[in-house]
Amino acid sequence: MIRKIVRIGNSDGVVIPVSVMRAHRLKVGDRVEVIIGPPGEIAKRLEFLQELEDYRKFRGQAPKKPSESQLL
């Protein structure tokens, strides 16, 4: 996600969309890591983190029973 730095009162900041806040259960006061790097580097890291999260969700599910045809 690309965000623009904006003026917030006497400070500058980056606004995180409410949909992202809800999806990641973030709230005001939570600490987040901001990584600044060459273009594309951040996107690759975010893709990796999403894949890791998907894997963890999948791993937490009960294994599916194999079908009869898979056993043969």
pLDDT band at 65 (very low <50, low <70, confident <90, very high): low
Using an 8 Å Cβ cutoff, are 42 and 35 in contact? yes
Alpha carbon distance 72, 59 (integer Å): 25
Supply the range of the domain harboring residue 53.
5-61
Tens-digit pLDDT profile for residues 23-39: 989 999 888 887 776 66
DSSP state of 5: E
Q: How many domains does the chain have?
A: 1
Is residue 49 a part of any domain in this protein? yes
Q: Is residue 40 part of a domain?
A: yes
Kindly state whether residue 66 falls inside one of the protein's structural domains.
Answer: no
Supply the pTM of this predicted model: 0.44
**Within a domain: residue 67?**
no
Give me the pLDDT at residue 6, please: 92
13, 34 contact by CB (below 8 A): no
Q: Is residue 43 part of a domain?
A: yes
- Classify residue 60 by its DSSP letter: T
